[in-house]
Structure 1
């Protein structure tokens, strides 16, 4: 075997090994943190009856969202997803920390929930049902012809007339 053929064979083997390792790296899982990044030490330091809104903000930061109705509650939502290339992400870890406050702004409770509380919804069809009548394309397109400025429509005379 000549030197040129040995060199060519080694280059071909090296190229194949490099290509195979690049292909394997492309199939690895992609991990993404979404929302609040959990720090167990900080979360466990929030104590009911001791902390208030200012100390919770100083410890945990601003919440992901707050309650709009009922008791004042701050929610810290954290998810870790994993996915392979060209595939929808799947939730690997999920945690919601709900910090409840009384009227004075003091912490009443700090409750956690996890992946067991997640509900997966399956939409029913491609359309959202709405109230009202169904209109065809042409009714939508030409439905307002003759409506603007018609007698009794209240428009067309200008403001204040």
Structure 2
């Protein structure tokens, strides 16, 4: 009976290892969101320096339009032999006026994330579909016939 118990114990250990191998691996990227600190940022009261002191350096800042600081946080999970998937995603956006005072502090989540799935090796575009031969021979007869082309009618003294 001792051998049977050992086999059952080894089977249980093997089953446990197999189950552990199928679990997903979490990975956090970016800013670590602290709800208390985010709630401490108040429009009309805080400025850039106080926000930097409370939330730290932003993940990225806006290049155009109103000055906005973004704090981006993502939690991904990856099953074995699979691509990672976003499980949680949070963006804290703090908008400033020209004087550097906080105008708004907003949060967005995974509902604002757009998933793009490229089709094969091509990106779909608007416009006319052209085949290989049209791409290859499409410019025959059009070279040199447009404005600014060589020859007569080139401009003054042309």
Aligned to 1:86: 81
Give the Cα separation in 2 of the matches to 1:68 and 1:27: 43
Shift of 1:127: 5.2
Shift of 1:31: 1.6
Return the TM-score normalized by structure 2.
0.73
Give the Cα separation in 1 of the matches to 2:120 and 2:7: 52
Residues 71-114 of structure 1 show CA distances to partners (whole Å, capped at 9, x for unaligned) of 11100111112232112222121111110111111111111111
1:36 matched to 2:18: no
Give the 5 Å matches for 1:7-156. Answer: 7-126=2-121
Partner-residue secondary structure (3-state), 2:103: strand
Give the Cα separation in 1 of the matches to 2:111 and 2:81: 27
Runs in 1 of length 4+ with deviation above 6 angstroms? none
Could you list the runs of 5+ residues in structure 2 that have no partner in the other structure? 125-134, 137-158
Structure 1 window deviating more from structure 2 (45-54 vs 116-125): it is 116-125
Residues 118-144 of structure 1 show CA distances to partners (whole Å, capped at 9, x for unaligned) of 111222442579xxxx99xxxxxxxxx
How many residues get paired?
126
Partner-residue secondary structure (3-state), 1:18: helix
Shift of 1:52: 0.8
Give the Cα separation in 2 of the matches to 1:78 and 1:111: 14
Shift of 1:7: 2.5
Give the Cα separation in 2 of the matches to 1:47 and 1:36: 19
Root mean square deviation of aligned Cα: 1.9
Give the Cα separation in 2 of the matches to 1:65 and 1:98: 10
Could you list the runs of 5+ residues in structure 1 that have no partner in the other structure? 1-5, 136-161
